Every structure is written in C-alpha cells, then in structure tokens.
Amino acid sequence: MTILDNRPLLGAEIDKVAEVAGYLWQKGWAERNGGNITVNVTDVVDDTLRAMPALDGRHGIGMTLPKLQGCYFYCKGTQKRMRDLARNPMANGSIIRICDDCSSYEIIADEPVCPTSELPSHLALHNYLLETGSRYRAVLHTHPIELVAMSHNRDMLGKDVMTRLLWSMIPETLAFAPLGLGVVPYETPGSVELAEATLRQVKDYDVVLWEKHGVCAVGLDIMDAFDQVDVLNKAACIYMSGKAMGFTPEGMTDKAMTDVQQIFNLPTKRPC
Ligand code: 2HA
Ligand code: ZN
C-alpha cells in the first residue's frame, strides 16, 4: 500500500514529478542529489489524507509563511537522487503538511523522508505564488548544463541580456518562455540571500538563473516548469553550437521577435 493507491488525482501529480525527475537525470542536469522539486498538492488531497497523523513529529521551517497554513506539498528528499525518485517517488520524497503556526511542518506520507535542504526557499516561493493569486503549483531547481555555462560569462548577466539572446535563437523560445530569464548573482546554495534574491526575480520571471549554479523555475505543474527550462536551455545549446562551429549566431531580428510576440499574443506578465 502507498498513499497514492486509490488517489488518482494525487497519483497523477506524483507521476509527473517522477517523469520529470527521469528527464532531469537523462539530460545530465541532476548529478548525484542535484536539484529539488516541490509541488503544492493541497487541491488534490482528500479528507482521509488530511486526517493522517505526523510520522515523526514537527519540524521548523525557519520562517513564517502565512499563506501556507494547512497546505500539503510533495517534496523531494534531501540527499536523494532524481534518478531514484524517477523509479520510486514516495521513497525518495514525502508529503508534508504545513502546521497551523505557519512556521513548522509534519511529514505525513509515505516514509519520514526529510525534505530538500532548499525547503525554506521553495516554500517562500509557494507562499508568494498563493499571495499573488497565481495558479502555479510547482517549483523546480535543476542544473541545466548550457545555461549554467553561459552564466560564467559576466557579459551575459546584465538584465535581459540572456533573455533577448535566447529568444532570438528560435521562435519557440519566445513563445514558450515568454517572460524570459531572470538572473541572480552568485549566492551560497541554500542561503537566505539566495532565497530572497530568487523571490525578487520570480515577481517578473518564471525561470531564474542562479549564476554558476543552476536555475529555479515555477509553473502550473512540474511539467510546465520543466518545459520552460527545457526551451531556454535548447536555445542556449543552439547558441553554443554556433560558437563551437566558429561563428556567433546572428539571432532573429528585433522585428521578427516583435512579430512573434504580437501574432501569438504572448503575455509580458505572469497570467494567474
Ligand atoms: O539539493 O542542487 O542547490 C541539491 C541542490 C542544492
Ligand atoms: Zn543546486
């Protein structure tokens, strides 16, 4: 028996997480325990699950997040590998409930797997999404090779320099990552500074590049967050392929990009 038995809606969300974890590993974006996933599953949790007791007491979050009271999250486990999560999501992650004090959580299923080390920053993002009425329910952190490589070039780190360059590589990037790519200057992994800087960028961008580390993305579900990182990294691959062939890719003209924005009526702000 697992908590997913006879819970098709919850099962479908966790299936997506497992599928994406497999892609992250196959793409080489999730070495060892690299990357984190959290999904707000509150909408697909039933009353029996809500009545389940804590497996191992209460744990502090380290911050107070008022919008998360009574919310439920699937969280990848700390030190767990994406490639293992792909095969067995409930042994490499767990479902947590945010307690009434909004500053602690309980693990309720299936095993007392301690959530990701980046839990406070992920939960702060979820809190922000709920506060702003967003329908986004997933947060993904991963290490996409080409985007991280590009972040080692200082010239790329100015506001929207990479956004424009990546959009201009192939029209689909603009169509499927219409808010572009935010940038956070290097900060220590897991630090409050990194969490706060990410929160500031997420107000304007669905995908945020952490200099010399990885990306943090938000989306409707985990597949949506993954897709946005995937299209941006594909554009980075095209740019780097041109460079490897000995030329700097010309890129679409500003007019060609404006045309795509208008024809597809692309959003410039996050739709709810
Ligand atoms: O949790 O990638 O940045 C593993 C990480 C932290
Ligand atoms: Zn990381």
Dump pLDDT digits (tens) for 126-167. Answer: 999 999 999 999 999 999 999 999 999 999 999 999 999 999
**Residue 87 pLDDT class (50, 70, 90 cuts):** very high
Segment 216-227 shows an average pLDDT of: 98
Residue 142 CA, closest ligand 1 atom number? 2
Among all bound ligands, the one having the nearest atom to the CA of 33 is 1
Structural domains of the chain, count: 1
Query: In CATH, what number is assigned to the domain containing residue 177?
Result: 3.40.225.10
pLDDT tens-digit readout, 195-213: 999 999 999 999 999 999 9
Six-digit token string for 262: 């208008």
Report, as residue numbers or ranges, the catalytic residues: 118
What residue type is assigned to position 240 of the chain? M
Residue 3 falls inside a structural domain: no
Residue 269 falls inside a structural domain: no
Half-sphere exposure of 179 (CA within 13 A, CB side): 20
**Residue 238 pLDDT class (50, 70, 90 cuts):** very high
Segment 4-19 shows an average pLDDT of: 97
Helices of type H across 70-203: 82-87, 119-131, 145-150, 161-167, 171-176, 192-202
For ion ligand 2, residues whose CB falls within 5 Å:
214
Q: Are 121 and 198 in contact (CB under 8 A)?
A: yes
Residue 40 falls inside a structural domain: yes
> 95: part of which helix (H) or strand (E)?
strand 93-98
**Residue 14 pLDDT class (50, 70, 90 cuts):** very high
Residue 1 falls inside a structural domain: no
Residue 43 falls inside a structural domain: yes
C-alpha closest to that of 212 among 183, 241, 191: 183
What residue type is assigned to position 86 of the chain? A
For residue 218, list its beta bridge partners: 139
The rounded Å distance from CA 142 to ligand 1 centre is 8
Residue 231 falls inside a structural domain: yes
What domain range is 254 assigned to? Answer: 8-264
